[in-house]
Every structure is written in structure tokens, then in C-alpha cells.
Structure 1
């Protein structure tokens, strides 16, 4: 028997950061909004990704900085207090309870329905086969992504960690094997090494952080090795066997025994069981959207896909950015307006999430980047030049910590004389990133950037040095 429909203006499927922000925008504009969530309100970022991972990484980073600073390092005795670090992490995840997030939804006037939601035809979501929610104006799919696991003999029986396990474990594995070379792999290798694990990173390719400038991966690998991580390149796992510990068979290079293995080998969309077939789409696929996050292949202008699920960029801050755009578009269309998504920097066009949005890798050293790498810019047909500078030569950096080492690069579009990419690697460089993002997204001419004077003596003085190098070299 079909449940009696409960009608809203907007139905949001998924209560992660993207879903919460879509709902906030539509409800604030006066549209009745309900959000459906089968797990914790707040989603991956709050409980299993950004927040817990940074809580695990920050104590080790702080200790490394203190140990490199004369006068402060003499005050340090011993290593991290593991129990205190894990407790710190647990506090930031609210001990995996979502009471605070639920209260925020209530205060914002957003209804919450707990359960597994599935699309049930046009403008309809069925929750646990018990409640039918219908939308006058829009359904927003904000279901995120999940870890991708390869098909390898023995993998399922080995019960590997995924990113969720790696950020939430209450136990430090004596020996941890990390399969992968991306952000999750290097961050979790750094975190668990700082807590005492013997960590081995197994990367199939010849570098880490393959989407960043090559020097970023090189310096992060060097930092991991200095911390005691065994980093191996061109290494493929062909089979696993668990008999207490896990034995990993390595193609052409023997075996590795670990107490736990983390697979950090990519992400897949959470669209395999959300009723995609009811609207003529294939389950398990990414959803292709326009710049307002409206799904292109669904007629009627009612289905949106926001955040990881549309595969434009798998970063929390970009999902929130898309949510602000989508929310504005939903509201405009509900009012009978036709939002102009052709305006490049308009209110309804998510134009800043396709060409290298800002990202930080919170290892030691940190790696931060925005925009295009040199290779990507050249592949895009731009006439560009890279301007590099050693961060250790900047006064603020040398004062920050003894023996500061790092590197900065901007990628200059020689035709338009604007910065189209920037990468920084070194201790505490994350705070340099927003200035670079403003320069790249705002397309600020370098002749104008010359007048944006960085404070002395800060690490941001590297901007002056980069622009001087650019000017002096023509």
C-alpha cells in the first residue's frame, strides 16, 4: 500500500554539508524543506573525514614545529599522549552523536526524516517504504561518495580499513599498511605514524599526490620518510590473506605483513541504492550537472545533484559552495524566474569549482594548492610560465621554525598576465592559500598584485619574492 504523500517545496536527500547548506538556503527563502538522512546528520566531513582527520593530525604537527624551534624544543619531553589525542578527536566528532546538528536543523525550520531515502519517480522520495515525500519544486541529491575498493583476492576476508575506519579507530595498530598515494593515504600515514604505528605506504605510481605539482608529492614523501614512514613506489598489491595479521602479496616484490591495512584508492558515488532507475538513470553512476547543479539528463528542471555525487570536485568546501549556488537557483525557479547560468561569475553559476579549487593536505610539511598545475595549464593550451621560490629564504619562514624548508610556485598566464595556479609546500602554508585563491579566482593582474604588500616578517612575504622573481626574469 502506497503511503499518503507528504508535500514540501524541496526535498533534500542526504544531510552532509552539501545537503545541509541546500536546505538552509531554500528554507531561509521561505520554501518548506525536508532533509532525509539514514546515518548521522552532518555527514562524512563531520564524523569520518575532514574533522577527525585534522584532529588526529594537528597534535603531531604542533609537536614537530615545537621540536624544530630553539628554546621551545628544550621544553619538550616525550612524545604524544595517544589517549589524549584520540579523546581530542572524539570531542570534535561529538563522540559520533549528531544531537547538535539535529538541533541546528530544528532551529532553522528544516524538517528531518530519518531513514533510507530512494527516488520514487518524478519529484518523489520514498523513505524506508513507509513515508512518501513529494516536492513541488525540487529534489536535491546530496548523498556524497564512498570508498572505492579494488577486486583483489582476499581483500574482503582481510577486513581492510577504509577512510572511515582510519579516522575513527580507538586502537593504534602496531603495523599499518596504507595502499594508495593520494590525500587520504598520506594524511592517515602521517597521523598513525605520529601515534606510534609502524607505517608503510604502497603507491602504484611513481609519486604521491598525483594531482598536485610533482614537487608537492616529493616533499611530502620526504617528510613522511623523515617521520619514519616506509614509502614505496611502483608497488601493487595482488592478494591479501588475514590470519591474525594481514599478509599482502606485492607484485614482483615479495610480501608485507601488517596488523591492519588501509585502502585509500579513490571514491565512488553513493547512487547505487537511491532509486535512480525510477527516473531512467543507471544506479551507481555520477550525476552530470550544469553550473546550477541541475541534473542535465532529467527532464522538467526539478532534480539537482550537489557535492561529491556530481563529481565536479570532491571537497567539503566546494560542496558547500555548490549548495549555495543550487539553493539560489532552486529559489529563483520556484519564484518563476529563469536564473542566468551563463554569467560567468553570477549568483547561479558554480564556475569556481572546475579548474583546481583550493585544497590543503595536512601532512608535515603541509601542501596547499589552488588553480592549475603547470602541466594542466599547458594541456589546456595556455601559454604559461612557472615562477618558483624557496620558502626557507623568506624571513617569516626562517623565524617560524629552525631550518624551515619548503617551496612555492605560481603559474603565470603570459597572455593575460594573471596567476592561474599556485602551490605551497612547507610548515603552516595552509594559511597562504586563501590569498592565492583570491588571486586566481579574481584573476587579479600581477601588476596590481604588486601593490598588495605582505606584512613583514610573515611567511606570506613569499608573494613579494614570487612577484619580484617574475619581474626580474621578464
Structure 2
């Protein structure tokens, strides 16, 4: 092991995914010298094993489902998907798991890239152990930003390692479709991957410990998605957990809590995430290894004046777009503190990630899509708001019928009766992912219901659901 002398920067970022890249971009734009440390591919989980490959797999699935709802196209798309072509397109979107383009972009910002494992070695100090064992010491004049994200949580089942189960990484990067696939979980990764691989030729069994799917959304979201998945051929078993799993002569055998023995070629566990902080050197600065990092709204770790935790690692909102939002806030806050400028950290200020609390949007790319922002009805009531839920079916929207025959979906807005603003909005139906930003604006800006009447939706589009929601609120 060879050790080099220390190199000083204004900012050191540990983790070069989209969140870390955005922190670096903002601090460089403010004129601060910045180093980025990355142990794998620059661009991180989202670019190579999550958002981009998963959506590349799902897009042909959704396009085919939409086409099948349209007379004139139905016969043209009755055959199966060309799975090798879908996988090849997926590979293009991951740049074939090469990060040359990301490296060129980062270099264009003026930030320096260090390849290797980054660890804290005391306040404002980071050691980088490169692939050849060389250790580089980096010091930060103003801030160290941890953007190391999360990794898949696997259950504590005897012999699981020998089974070589899939996590989200294997599910999004597989080279062929398994003939039979068991998916364990009922959240976003589980439902999206079950949707994708069922359409790409796998026979999918979905094992859900709880009562239904997508339990962090309004109940009807999971119900409509489950109904459509079952119609597509997915075998959904709720109230079911895996008691044991083995691989016998290449075949995965899972025994469930109901006593069922299920055989498959692969098994995917989509059962949660844990912070990627177990080997980060947190103990050198008085923090617990492997823990989530608790931050204030400027994304600075509580109890420190130099350490920031940005993105999934702080457990505020495990979504790429929300992490990038936090990165913009954190970069601006680091720059302001470095310059001695006033910190605008009041709610909705330039240095406060206020949207993390009550205006987080998410889209689940199943068929139908499920999209939500803000609080569900149950969450709003638990928070003490006096609210009313307003529901409409998309069958009342002319644009839905034009979108496809038999269009099925539902929308809900949760109205705060004290201030007459929206606390949350949920859409379920084909194509609704493109509706959610309008709802995000309404929730984040706290647009009064009375003003929403003047935001006229174009006819005939899916957006007309907004008019139906307002009419339902007025008339009931």
C-alpha cells in the first residue's frame, strides 16, 4: 500500500451517482474546488442498475399495452415482445456499463475524480484507496458531502448466499429472461420488475408479505395495479413470506409461510434498502457505522458544521429526482456558508429542502402507472390536518377514452379544508406519469382551490381530470 500526501479542496464529495454529481456541479459553479470520489461507475445506481435500465425495460412493455387498447393497432402488436431487442436497447441506455460519458461531463465542470473507496478519517478528511492499493488523503476546507446511497436489503435466511438471489441490480441487468421468476416484495421495485419480466417472457410469481401492493400510496393504487398484473398473468400471493430458499440442481426452491413449494429459475428479493455507510469511517467522526445520516433542511448532518449527507443516505426520500433536488440545495448552502453569505434556510428558501416534507412526487411505471405527490389521505389525517378526499374515475374524462379503449383509472386529491389547498394528489391509469408534475406544482406552491379553477385543462387530454376533481369537490 502506497500513501500520498494530502491534497486540499474546498469540497470533497463521496459518491459519484447523480446526487454526488449534482453537488459537485453546484459547488463548482460557485467557484469552489471540488473532488468526487467514486468506487464503481460514475453515474451511480440510477444510471446503471436502477432508474435508466428499469425504465428502458418497461417502456416497450407499456407501449405495447397502450397499443393493444387501440383498434387498428391491436392486431399489429399481438405477438410477444422481441426480448433480445429490448435488452439491447436497455444496454444502450446504460452505455453498456461504461462511464466514459459521465467522466467527460464531470471533467467539464472542473471537478477532479478519484477512483476508489472513500472513507472518512476524521473531521474534513477523506482517504481514498484506489484499485491498485494506493491511498490518497483529501482534506476539505469547507465541506464533505456523503452521497453513497443505499444497497439492497436481503432477508436473514439460511443458505441464501449460496442461492445467489437477484437484487434490483441483477433484475435490471440480466442478459436473458428467466423462464420462471419469483419476486419477493410488494413495493416499487417488485411491481415494476414483475411487470417487465412477465411481459418479456418470464412466468412470474409475486410473493407479498402484506395485504397488497404499493402500501405507501393510496390503497386504490395498489389494488388497480394488482388487478392489471393478475390479468397479465402474474401470480400474486399476498399475506405470504418466504420461510426458506434453496437451489437444487440449478432450480430455485422457495417454501412459503403457507407451506407452498415454488420452483423457479431465479428469485428476486425486493424487500427494502439499507444505507451504504457501513464502511464509510463514520466512527472517526462520532457517528454510528451503517446508520442513516440525520440532517437539517440544508442537508448538513446534525451536530456537525462541515459534514453533509445528500440523497438516499439521509432517508428523507429515496428517489433520484428528490436526491438531485437535495443536491442543488446542499450545493447552494455549502457555497453560501463558504462565502459567509446569509443562509436562506426558512421554509421554501434557497437553502432548505422543504419539499422533502410534503411535496415529494413519485411515479411507478407499471401498467397502469401510479403517480402520487404529497400526503395520502391517511398521512394527512395522521398529521392532524382537517382534510377531505375527492375521488373521480378517469371514465369521466374524454381524453382517457381517446387514450385507449377500456381505459381504467382513478384520481384523488386530498384537500385541506382549513386553507383550501391540496395536501396530496394521486393518479392511477395509463400515461398518468406525465400528469404528476402539474400536481406537484399545485402541492408545492400551495395553490388555492379557488385559483385552480382558472388553470384550464386542454380538451381532450388526460389533464381534464383536474376539472372533474374540482367539480366533484364543489358539488359534494
Q: Pick the TM interval, shorter chain.
A: over 0.9
Q: How does 1:63-462 map to 2 (within 5 A)?
A: 63-128=64-129, 130-243=135-248, 244-298=250-304, 301-341=305-345, 343-355=346-358, 357-462=360-465
Report the alpha carbon displacement of residue 253 of structure 1 after superposing the two structures with TM: 2.8
Distance in 2 of aligned mates of 1:291 and 1:104: 28
Which consecutive unaligned segments of at least 5 residues does structure 1 have?
Answer: none
TM-score (norm 1): 0.98
Residues 153, 238 of structure 1: 8 Å contact kept: no
Listed one character per residue, the Cα deviations across residues 65-103 of structure 1 (whole Å, up to 9, x for unaligned) are: 111101121323511101100001000000000000000
Runs of 4+ displaced beyond 4 Å: none
The aligned counterpart of 2:50 is 49
Distance in 1 of aligned mates of 2:258 and 2:316: 36
Residues 369, 423 of structure 1: 8 Å contact kept: yes
CA 439–356 in structure 1, closer or farther in 2 if over 3 Å, else same? closer
Q: Secondary structure at the match of 2:92?
A: helix
Distance in 1 of aligned mates of 2:419 and 2:377: 16
Distance in 1 of aligned mates of 2:267 and 2:395: 36
The aligned counterpart of 1:13 is 14
Listed one character per residue, the Cα deviations across residues 294-335 of structure 1 (whole Å, up to 9, x for unaligned) are: 00033xx11000000000010000000000000000001101
Distance in 2 of aligned mates of 1:241 and 1:230: 21
Distance in 1 of aligned mates of 2:245 and 2:470: 51
Distance in 1 of aligned mates of 2:16 and 2:383: 36
Distance in 2 of aligned mates of 1:175 and 1:297: 50
TM-score (norm 2): 0.98
Residues 147, 309 of structure 2: 8 Å contact kept: yes
Report the alpha carbon displacement of residue 165 of structure 1 after superposing the two structures with TM: 0.3
Listed one character per residue, the Cα deviations across residues 374-413 of structure 1 (whole Å, up to 9, x for unaligned) are: 0000001111111000012210000110010000000000
Distance in 2 of aligned mates of 1:338 and 1:310: 24
Report the alpha carbon displacement of residue 336 of structure 1 after superposing the two structures with TM: 1.5
CA RMSD of aligned residues (A): 1.0
Listed one character per residue, the Cα deviations across residues 106-130 of structure 1 (whole Å, up to 9, x for unaligned) are: 1111110000010011101001161
Q: Secondary structure at the match of 1:3?
A: strand
Distance in 2 of aligned mates of 1:466 and 1:340: 36
Query: For this pair of structures, how many residues does the alignment match?
Result: 470
Listed one character per residue, the Cα deviations across residues 337-358 of structure 1 (whole Å, up to 9, x for unaligned) are: 24132x1110000000122510
Report the alpha carbon displacement of residue 202 of structure 1 after superposing the two structures with TM: 0.2
Report the alpha carbon displacement of residue 155 of structure 1 after superposing the two structures with TM: 1.5
Residues 277, 283 of structure 1: 8 Å contact kept: yes
Residues 396, 468 of structure 2: 8 Å contact kept: no
